[in-house]
């Protein structure tokens, strides 16, 4: 992949923008003369479709997308309009009652590309407009294969939706439809069906203007127009799957989600991507406690409306067969939460101060890290978490692969430079000063941490909480199975200090429990004081105790999160 990614330019508008009044279906609305272009940030004239959106009037459209440059090729958004009439003296003509006389345009205009002007009136619900929509839709369906039963887009397809509103019950087309290639391999993650394509060019504009990888184009002429990748090239940048969301029909489909589940069965839960510190907002599509797909959720402060392919496909492990499901004390053989936590609390109670260390993970939620910090304070334990650095690009992917590094820093689990404490902890373990180690969500036996041979052998007690079995969980004396982030609620703080929350989509397997529950119970046993029973209460308590989060509440976060200084 040889692409130049561009970070989205900030809006270039300076100062106040001139505003004026237009009417949409008789309702007045004040609109700015210019609106920043979603990609370049350049000030462009405000269009009719934006004025309609401002009063909540939806104009049917295929090629227009609020986050992409305007193409104006589908013609679905045709509307009628009128402008103030001018007399021979170039002055507005007034009605007898003193209002502006409106001269209705003899021709319709596409709402997505026509600028509004002062006093303009837009009509989106007239009989003429309805007729135009019906005619445009009939043309779009001329060569459409109508294979909805085998199309993955069915259920979230704009053609289906508008066909219901403006379509005919039977086709008038008597000729033979043009057949184009089906199931075309466009790239490693994208399947193309040229017959279904309505040539709106959203995918072309997205990959060219937003991603900066000019990989797609239209080839052939007339009825044989087809989307294709540049000859000899694959459509394989890290943002290809966004074109599947953008495609208003079923032309571009995801190979990963291909024929997996019909979309109307999927329960959509607001969540976050845990793949890196960007914290893209997502929807988790699940059915019967199985996750089927991640799709991006719009948040202009974080990911606009996009996400990378790597993050989107990072869900398969959640349903793995070998997930840790049963709590275990390998000393007594206890396999129930109450027995295991009771035994663990007794062990920790007896540990002298300074003989315990806690290694947390910056992939955990802020609430879990807060409880671990409380545990550390009670036990007099040293804490740290581990850095996870990878490749970044100039668009969404962050080099920090931990979703909650700033949470770990703000809550005092680690220093600004993560992992700086770990060598000293290991030194103290080897020297026999630290006898008990508590590890959450990190496999310290992996070679990338470069720890000395045999350092675990000196430990008296190893407590491990994780999701999947690994080298460290095999050595643990106490094993506490936890949850993937789609199986619990919580919050992350992203690289730019955005505090965002995520909701529970599916149930955890077996006896696995959200870490806040098991940590809360453990702390209750150790300190004798119960913690807030709900996650909301815990979050609010955490904010009250943390200077950087002071005054924030769970309810404040909403769907889009709030920004705190980091």
Partner 1 sequence: MIVPRRKLSFLERLYLPAILSGLRVTLRHFFRRKVTMQYPEERWVVPEGYRGAPYLVRDQHGDTKCVSCQLCEFVCPPRAIRIVPPGPDGPPADRPNAEKMPKEFEINMLRCIFCGFCQEVCPEEAIFLQQDYSLTGLARGEMIYDKEKLLDLGGIHQDRHLKWQRKHAEAESQKVSPPS
Q: How far is CA 188 from CA 17, 253, 261, 525, in A?
A: 45, 12, 20, 52
Site residues for partner 1, 265-324, by CB under 8 A, read 265
Spatial distance between the Cα atoms of 418 and 42, rounded to a whole number of angstroms:
40
178/548 with CB nearer partner 1:
178
**Does residue 176 interact with partner 1 by CB under 8 A?**
yes
180/202 with CB nearer partner 1:
180
232/565 with CB nearer partner 1:
232
**Number of residues near partner 1 (by CB under 8 A):** 29
**Does residue 171 interact with partner 1 by CB under 8 A?**
no
- Which of the ranges 144-152, 277-285, 299-307, 357-365 carries the binding residues for partner 1, by CB under 8 A? 144-152
**Does residue 345 interact with partner 1 by CB under 8 A?**
no
DSSP 286-349: EETTEEEEEEE--BTTTTBT---HHHHTTTGGGG-TT---S-EETTT---SHHHHHHHHHHHHH
> Which DSSP helix (H) or strand (E) runs through 34?
strand 34-36
User: How would you classify residue 364: left for phi > 0, otherwise alpha for psi between -120 and 50, otherwise beta?
Assistant: beta
Token pair in block for residue 217: 């184009």
Task: Of 330, 350, 347, 335, give the one whose Cα is nearest residue 477.
Answer: 330
From the DSSP assignment, how many helices (H) and strands (E) are in the chain? 14, 25
152/466 with CB nearer partner 1:
152
Q: Yes or no: say if 251 and 158 are a contact pair by the CB < 8 Å rule.
A: no
**Does residue 150 interact with partner 1 by CB under 8 A?**
yes
User: Which residue among 149, 222, 232, 547 contacts partner 1 (CB under 8 A)?
Assistant: 149
289/343 with CB nearer partner 1:
289
Spatial distance between the Cα atoms of 383 and 95, rounded to a whole number of angstroms:
77
Residue found under tokens 């909301």: 536
User: Which residue among 43, 54, 184, 298 contacts partner 1 (CB under 8 A)?
Assistant: 184
- In the complex, least distance from residue 485 CB atom to partner 1, rounded to whole angstroms: 25
User: Which residue among 183, 218, 420, 555 contacts partner 1 (CB under 8 A)?
Assistant: 183
User: Which residue among 259, 322, 431, 447 contacts partner 1 (CB under 8 A)?
Assistant: 259
**Does residue 188 interact with partner 1 by CB under 8 A?**
no
**Does residue 25 interact with partner 1 by CB under 8 A?**
no
**Does residue 548 interact with partner 1 by CB under 8 A?**
no
Site string for partner 1, 408-447 (x = CB under 8 A): ----------------------------------------
Spatial distance between the Cα atoms of 495 and 525, rounded to a whole number of angstroms:
35
220/534 with CB nearer partner 1:
220
Spatial distance between the Cα atoms of 74 and 52, rounded to a whole number of angstroms:
18
Torsion of CA 552, 553, 556, 559, to 10 degrees: 120
148/566 with CB nearer partner 1:
148
231/528 with CB nearer partner 1:
231
> Which DSSP helix (H) or strand (E) runs through 427?
helix 422-430
Q: Yes or no: say if 153 and 85 are a contact pair by the CB < 8 Å rule.
A: no
Residue found under tokens 């439809």: 177
Site string for partner 1, 194-213 (x = CB under 8 A): x-------------------
User: Which residue among 220, 290, 527, 553 contacts partner 1 (CB under 8 A)?
Assistant: 220
- Which of the ranges 27-35, 146-154, 274-282, 492-500 carries the binding residues for partner 1, by CB under 8 A? 146-154
> Which DSSP helix (H) or strand (E) runs through 129?
helix 127-140
**Does residue 181 interact with partner 1 by CB under 8 A?**
yes
285/508 with CB nearer partner 1:
285
What is the total residue count of the chain? 566
Q: For residue 499, what are the β-bridge partners?
A: 493, 562
Q: Applying CB under 8 A, which residues contact partner 1?
A: 145, 148-150, 154, 176-184, 194, 219-220, 224, 226, 228, 255-256, 258-262, 264-265
């Amino acid at each position: 992949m040889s692409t130049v990614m561009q970070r989205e330019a900030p809006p270039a508008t300076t100062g106040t923008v001139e505003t004026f009044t237009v009417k949409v279906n008789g309702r007045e609305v004040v609109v700015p003369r210019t609106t920043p272009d979603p990609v370049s940030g350049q000030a462009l004239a405000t269009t009719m479709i934006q004025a309609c959106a401002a009063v909540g009037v939806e104009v049917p459209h295929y090629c227009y997308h609020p986050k992409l440059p305007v193409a104006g090729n589908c013609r679905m958004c045709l509307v009628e309009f009128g402008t103030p009439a001018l007399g021979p003296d170039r002055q507005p003509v007034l009605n007898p009652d003193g209002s502006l006389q409106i001269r209705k345009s003899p021709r319709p205009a596409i709402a997505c590309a026509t600028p509004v002007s002062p006093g303009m009136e837009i009509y989106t619900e007239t009989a003429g407009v309805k007729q135009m929509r019906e005619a445009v839709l009939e043309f779009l369906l001329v060569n459409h294969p109508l294979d909805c039963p085998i199309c993955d887009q069915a259920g979230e397809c704009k053609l289906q939706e508008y066909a219901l509103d403006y379509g005919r019950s039977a086709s008038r087309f008597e000729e033979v439809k043009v057949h184009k290639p089906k199931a075309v391999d466009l790239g490693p993650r994208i399947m193309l069906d040229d017959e279904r394509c309505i040539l709106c060019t959203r995918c072309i504009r997205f990959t060219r203007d937003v991603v900066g990888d000019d990989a797609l184009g239209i080839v052939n002429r007339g009825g044989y127009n087809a989307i294709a990748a540049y000859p000899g090239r694959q459509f394989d940048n890290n943002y290809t799957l966004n074109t599947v969301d953008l495609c208003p029909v079923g032309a571009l489909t995801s190979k990963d989600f291909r024929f997996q589940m019909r979309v109307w069965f999927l329960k959509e839960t607001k969540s976050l991507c845990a793949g890196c510190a960007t914290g893209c907002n997502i929807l988790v599509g699940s059915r019967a406690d199985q996750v089927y797909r991640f799709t991006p959720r719009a948040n202009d402060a974080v990911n606009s409306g996009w996400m990378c392919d790597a993050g989107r496909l990072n869900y398969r492990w959640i349903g793995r067969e070998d997930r840790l499901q049963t709590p275990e004390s390998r000393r007594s053989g206890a396999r129930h939460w109450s027995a295991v936590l009771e035994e663990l609390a007794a062990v920790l109670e007896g540990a002298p101060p300074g003989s315990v260390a806690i290694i947390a993970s910056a992939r955990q939620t802020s609430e879990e890290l807060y409880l671990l910090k409380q545990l550390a304070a009670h036990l007099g334990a040293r804490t740290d978490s581990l850095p996870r650095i990878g490749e970044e690009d100039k668009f969404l992917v962050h080099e920090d692969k931990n979703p909650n590094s700033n949470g770990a820093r703000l809550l005092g689990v680690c220093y600004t430079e993560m992992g700086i404490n770990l060598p000293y902890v290991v030194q103290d373990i080897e020297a026999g000063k630290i006898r008990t180690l508590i590890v959450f969500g990190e496999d310290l036996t992996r070679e990338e941490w470069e720890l000395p041979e045999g350092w675990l052998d000196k430990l008296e007690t190893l407590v491990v909480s994780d999701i999947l079995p690994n080298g460290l969980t095999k050595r643990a004396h106490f094993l506490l199975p936890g949850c993937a982030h789609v199986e619990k609620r919580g919050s992350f703080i992203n690289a730019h200090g955005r505090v965002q929350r995520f909701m529970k989509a599916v149930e955890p397997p077996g006896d696995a429990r959200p870490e806040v529950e098991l940590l809360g119970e453990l702390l209750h046993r150790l300190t004798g004081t119960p913690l807030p029973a709900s996650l909301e209460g815990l979050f609010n308590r955490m904010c009250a105790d943390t200077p950087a989060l002071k005054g924030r509440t769970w309810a404040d976060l909403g769907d889009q999160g709030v920004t705190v200084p980091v």
